[in-house]
Amino acid sequence: MTEFAVENNQLSIEDRNGMRTARLFSMLIVLCSLVGCQSARYVLRSENEGIVAIPSNSTWPVNHREHAEELMQQHFPEGYVIEQEEEVVVGQVTQTHHHQSGNQAKEKKNKVFRQSGHSTTTTTDQTEYRISYRKADPADRRRALFEDQREPRGDFAPGDPAFSP
């Protein structure tokens, strides 16, 4: 329990620290809601292929790529091959900022207002990163085992045809 006292119309240090903590916590919640709400999702999921979309391919502050790899692994636990990766435009965001200034001048009994201003409109593309992948076949798995490749990914068991020469 935070104790505080008011002396000479000033809050104690303990209360200021509590307010600072509350302010930081509020900013953290806003940041998480802006970043964390978006995650990996399926765009296409069929028997032999799939497409996963993530907000970006960066690893900070959230590694969306890990979430995408989890979805691909769930889709094809025996392994998958990434066919293509690309950034795709999915919409546009337009922001308009208005800046106004005004002067007041008196003309006899009436007040006259003069206003001037300008607007700035910015339109940017809204993008997402898409990973197209397919189910790994035995030949893909053999190549992955005997070559130093990143794909295909997934768990390969000793009974798997990929282990046979």
Give start and end residues of each alpha helix (H) in 12-161.
13-36, 64-75, 138-146
Provide φ and ψ at 101, rounded to 5°.
-135, 150
Give the Cα separation of 88 and 29 in Å (integer). 28
Average pLDDT of the chain is 76
Give the Cα separation of 20 and 17 in Å (integer). 5
Residues 109-149 have pLDDT tens digits of: 566 666 678 889 999 999 999 999 999 998 887 777 776 55
User: Which of the 8 DSSP states describes residue 162?
Assistant: G
Tokens at 4, concatenated: 């505080």
- The pTM of this model reads 0.57
Q: What amino acid occupies position 69?
A: E
**Which of the two residues, 5 and 45, has the higher pLDDT score?**
45
Give the Cα separation of 133 and 72 in Å (integer). 8
The predicted model gives 86-108 an average pLDDT of 80
Q: What amino acid occupies position 3?
A: E
Helix (H, G, I), strand (E, B) or coil at 28: helix
Give the Cα separation of 94 and 79 in Å (integer). 41
